[in-house]
Amino acid sequence: MKGKLTALVMAMAMAFLAVTAGLAAKVIFEDKFTTLDPSWAAPSAMINAKDGKLIITPDKNVVQTYLNQANILPNDMEANYTVTFVKAAAPAYGSGLVFWAKDLDNWYCLQINANGWFAVERHTSDHRLMPVAWREDASLKKGEGAENQVKLVTKGNQGTIFINGKEVLSFTGQPPEGGSLIGFRVSSGPQDSNSVAFSNFQVVQP
């Protein structure tokens, strides 16, 4: 009797694990940034990867956008990453995740700055729009060296932003047909270069 009970418990545990695995989100993109994957760009003074971080440092008064060329991803996804302002010479200038990107002329960007503000910018070949105007949020850690954990969930034409575990805002957009590219964008101001690091980057399909 005891053996039968043990076998039943083990079978139930295995079934539970199988169901849990089936329900788990599917990882569709991940980069541990041990080295700079060529799908980002060739290593340069503006972009490199080391110690698990992608570091982007545009020249003064330059905005640099990198779209990963490895694959076209589904528009419905969950992107998780950590952003750190290694150097914030121009703390009001934003940097962050590029998503729903068709190409370098058509994309959205979830931007954060070192002053504790965030926004969502939309860029098309003809227009620059702000689906989410710049706003301050207490959940953002400020200043050089502060790490902020960011999650963006997109479904249909809706995007939801989470910062350091807190849901802060949802917005409406227009994802491109047939999937999109993903990447990062960093802005430097007239004072000097900003240097921003991205790490723990993973994209899943819920």
What is the distance between the alpha carbons of residues 122 and 202, in angstroms, rounded to a whole number?
A: 22
pLDDT number for residue 133: 98
Per the prediction, the chain carries an average pLDDT of 91
CATH number of 25-205, picked from 3.30.160.250, 2.60.40.10, 2.60.120.560, 3.40.50.300: 2.60.120.560
Contacts 24+ apart (CB under 8 A), 38-46: 39/68, 39/69, 39/70, 40/66, 40/68, 40/69, 40/183, 41/66
Structure confidence at residue 131 as a pLDDT band (50, 70, 90): very high
Least confident span in 8-12, 38-42, 48-52: 8-12
Q: C-alpha distances in angstroms, 134 versus 27, 46, 48, 116?
A: 31, 26, 28, 10
CA distance 203 to 148: 17
Share of the chain above pLDDT 90, in %: 87
Q: What is the pLDDT of residue 25?
A: 79
pTM (predicted TM-score): 0.87
